[in-house]
Amino acid sequence: MEIFFRQTDRQGNAFFSSYRRLNEIHEFVDKLSEDYPNITEVISVGKSSEGRDLKAIKIGSKTSTKSSKSAIWIDGGIHAREWISPATVTYIAYRLTNDYSSDEEVKDLVDHFDWYILPVVNPDGYEFSHNFNRMWRKSRRGGFIFCKGVDLNRNFGFHWKEGGSSSSPCSDTYAGSQAFSEPETKAISDYLSQRKENFIAYLAVHSYSQLWLTPWGWTSDLPDDYDQMVAVAQEATQALSEVHGTKYRIGSSTNILYVATGGADDWAYGSAGIKYSYTLELRDTGRYGFLLPSEQIIPTGEETFAGIKAMAKAIKREA
Ligand code: 0X9
Ligand code: ZN
């Protein structure tokens, strides 16, 4: 058993030493599930417009006496160029499984919650950003040679296209032809809607700016649960900063960033009724921006994992 864990540790360190292609992330997720069959299940949430799998992993022990567990959703890679996001989200899945047997705190959180982790919401854009254009943001559907793709974080059906998004296919914030016109956003919303009573938290992981954002992105008004969301985010960012000193700011998207409608977090909170819905903007604050060096994958993973654990602990206490 011990050798087994040490091997997995080595795998983790090697895997997270560089930014990985989609097929490597998918293989890693499959491997995690093979290594920890009792607490994991590989899930297909749907397919991208170019036919790539939206491969996710569900992590949760079946030992709980409760028939239906509370669930936490974490996704990454909705914006192609934000490479630290899929890397970090995959790292979270790695630690939740790898540490289950050795860390009481992790065991407790995996026993209590079902974790649904989708590292790459936008696999077509992610691959395009590796193959052709490192600064690509959107998906790759529609358009001609130029002006392809939809900003999937403007395509969710809640106050869709009411501000901070564009109706021009050439724009980097093109909202799509209608709400949920894109297979990626439709798949996520269908998946969550079928199970929404179980979901207590939704995390959309982006980069960069070091922000722990609450809804709303469509109005400067604050959501009903704002105070509780902020209290949980404070515990999370406190734990996060204790790891490597990285400082996060907390606030609503509109108030500390900008108005942008059709975002996943607003939909998760406003339509799916998921009480703790956040967008995380990971490292850094602009020195490297989207081009965060790969040496920062593990430190970013470590601190984000600490933040997410603290968040889950706080939610568990509240609920
Ligand atoms: O603009 C976005 O989609 C996010 N920032 S990013 O630089 N990663 O593109 C922020 C989204 C915040 N949430 C909402 N506006 N709903
Ligand atoms: Zn983003």
pLDDT of residue 307 exceeding 80, the answer is yes
Strand ranges of the sheet holding 249-252, from the earlier edge strand across to the other edge: 40-47, 53-59, 113-118, 70-76, 199-207, 276-282, 211-214, 249-252
What is the C-alpha to C-alpha distance for residues 53 and 252, in angstroms, rounded to an integer? Answer: 32
pLDDT of residue 183 exceeding 80, the answer is yes
Cα 103 to ligand 2 centre (Å)? 32
Amino acid at 215: P
Task: Report which DSSP code applies to 128.
Answer: H
Predicted local distance difference test score (pLDDT) of residue 10: 58
Predicted local distance difference test score (pLDDT) of residue 67: 65
Residues in the chain: 319
| Cβ-contact 225, 275 below 8 angstroms | yes
Of the residues 182, 184, 281, 303, only one is catalytic, namely: 281
Q: Is the CB of 280 under 6 A from ligand 1?
A: no
pLDDT band at 6 (very low <50, low <70, confident <90, very high): very low
What is the C-alpha to C-alpha distance for residues 219 and 44, in angstroms, rounded to an integer? Answer: 33
| Cβ-contact 196, 234 below 8 angstroms | no
What is the C-alpha to C-alpha distance for residues 25 and 142, in angstroms, rounded to an integer? Answer: 26
Residue 293 or 3, more confident? 293
Cα 192 to ligand 2 centre (Å)? 20
What is the C-alpha to C-alpha distance for residues 73 and 283, in angstroms, rounded to an integer? Answer: 21
Measured from the Cα of 264, ligand 1's closest atom is: 16
Measured from the Cα of 263, ligand 1's closest atom is: 16
**Mean pLDDT along residues 284-312:** 98
Specify the residue for token string 């950003």.
129
CA angle at residue 287 from 136 to 204, to 5 degrees? Answer: 50
* Torsion sign across C-alpha atoms 105, 110, 113, 115: positive
Q: What is the pTM of this model?
A: 0.96
Predicted local distance difference test score (pLDDT) of residue 1: 34
303 is annotated as an active-site residue = no
Query: Rounded mean pLDDT of the chain?
Result: 95
What is the C-alpha to C-alpha distance for residues 36 and 248, in angstroms, rounded to an integer? Answer: 33
pLDDT band at 143 (very low <50, low <70, confident <90, very high): confident
Q: Is the peptide bond between 266 and the residue preceding it cis, with omega within 30 degrees of 0?
A: no
- SS3 percent helix, strand, coil of the chain, rounded to 5, is 45, 15, 40
